[in-house]
């Protein structure tokens, strides 16, 4: 679809359309771990077009993606310069979407330079902006970035809750983590799992999955209290909050409760601000976990287990 769109924009001679098509196409290819040499040439063409048009928003967007490419290539100096330029231009034109991602790049640069305090502040700033604009994909990404920074600062339980909340949010909106992020993410999670031990990690992860992003961010205070206890006490405290029956997720319980109230798929979608298709996906998972195939049987389970 990107290729078709780019071809049509070139046929029309729409320079701005060509530039944005190239930029967005390149961004998708970066996330998919495509050849960075090809991506870079696309971005350079896009940048030249935007500069020729005097389009600051476009230059900010391309600078952000080029910053990500530079970071992937290990060039933190260039990555920082491009991200700072993107943030500056975004402020001039009042565009926050690219600024959120550019600030996250600056956080990663700080991480790479072992400036953990700066990384934590930048991840938090990026996440705060994502929450202000209400972009759930960027919120999930922000939670993951903050969790990584928190983990390196010695707060593994809070980090695990943040990761759990991010996974729940991605599941809810149907937006899996891009391949480019998965390897580093899995290494960080594995290190925390080993540090905490499987039982404590699983308990904190389950708690995070039942939290909204706001609750997960507030869980720092809970972690501080728990951290003052011994490791055994922490495990015991976490174990007091078991997962829902039949391994249902927090979102699945929300859907099940609304089913038990007699709401249709469309009404549930409106209530939870998700698509009817996502509701159907959750229902399929719920039925499989409960071993039922009707709304009435699912409702009976909810009543029997005091979920409503």
Q: For the residues of 113-155, what is the DSSP string, one character each?
A: TT-HHHHHHHHHHHHHHHHHHT-HHHHHHHHHHHHHHHHHTT-
The number of beta carbons lying within 10 Å of the beta carbon of residue 170 is: 19
Positive or negative, the CA dihedral 247, 252, 256, 257 is: positive
Q: What's the distance, CA 52 to chain centroid? A: 34
The pLDDT assigned to 273 comes to 61
The answer to whether 202 and 160 have CB atoms below 8 angstroms apart is: no
Q: What's the distance, CA 303 to chain centroid? A: 33
- What residues in the chain have per-residue pLDDT under 50? 222-242
Comma-separated ranges of CATH 1.25.40.10 domains in the chain: 1-113
The pLDDT assigned to 252 comes to 82
The pLDDT assigned to 190 comes to 93
Dihedral angle, C-alpha 91, 93, 98, 99, nearest 10 °: 10
Distance CA(115)–CA(121), nearest Å, equals 10
CATH number listed for the domain at residues 246-308 = 1.10.10.10
Domain 1-113 belongs to what topology? 1.25.40
The pLDDT assigned to 245 comes to 81
Per residue in 194-243, pLDDT (tens digit) is 999 999 999 999 999 999 998 898 876 544 444 444 344 433 333 333 45
H-type helices in the chain, by residue range? Answer: 2-12, 15-31, 36-53, 56-72, 76-93, 97-112, 116-133, 136-152, 156-173, 179-196, 198-209, 213-227, 231-239, 250-260, 265-272, 276-290, 295-304
Closest CA to 142 of 63, 214, 65, 61: 214
Distance CA(43)–CA(177), nearest Å, equals 23
Q: What's the distance, CA 104 to chain centroid? A: 12
Helices 36-53, 56-72: inter-axial angle, 10-degree rounding? 160
Comma-separated ranges of CATH 1.10.10.10 domains in the chain: 246-308
Q: Is 69 exposed, middle or buried (0-12, 13-18, 19+ CB in 10 A)?
A: buried
Distance CA(205)–CA(13), nearest Å, equals 51
């Amino acid at each position: 679809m990107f290729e078709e769109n780019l071809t049509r924009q070139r046929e029309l001679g729409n320079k701005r359309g060509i530039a944005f098509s190239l930029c967005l196409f390149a961004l998708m290819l970066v996330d998919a771990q495509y050849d960075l040499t090809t991506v870079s040439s696309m971005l350079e063409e896009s940048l030249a077009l935007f500069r020729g048009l005097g389009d600051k928003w476009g230059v900010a967007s391309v600078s952000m993606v080029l910053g990500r490419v530079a970071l992937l290539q290990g060039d933190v100096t260039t990555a920082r310069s491009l991200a700072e330029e993107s943030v500056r231009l975004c402020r001039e034109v009042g565009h926050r979407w690219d600024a959120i991602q550019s600030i996250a790049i600056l956080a990663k640069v700080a991480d790479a330079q072992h400036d953990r305090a700066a990384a934590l502040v930048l991840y938090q700033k990026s996440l705060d902006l994502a929450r202000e604009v209400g972009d759930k994909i960027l919120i999930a990404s922000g939670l993951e970035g903050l969790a990584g920074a928190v983990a390196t600062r010695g707060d593994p339980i809070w980090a695990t809750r943040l990761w759990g909340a991010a996974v729940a949010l991605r599941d809810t909106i149907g937006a899996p983590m891009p391949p480019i992020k998965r390897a580093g993410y899995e290494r960080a999670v594995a290190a925390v799992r080993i540090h905490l031990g499987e039982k404590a990690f699983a308990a904190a992860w389950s708690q995070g999955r039942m939290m909204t992003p706001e609750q997960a961010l507030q869980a720092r205070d809970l972690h501080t209290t728990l951290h003052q206890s011994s490791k055994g006490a922490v495990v015991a405290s976490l174990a007091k909050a078991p997962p829902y029956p039949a391994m249902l997720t927090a979102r699945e319980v929300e859907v099940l409760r609304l089913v038990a109230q007699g709401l249709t798929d469309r009404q549930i979608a409106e209530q939870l601000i998700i698509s009817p298709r996502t509701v159907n996906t959750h229902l399929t998972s719920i039925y499989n976990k409960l071993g039922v195939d009707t709304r009435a049987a699912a409702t009976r389970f909810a009543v029997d287990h005091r979920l409503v």
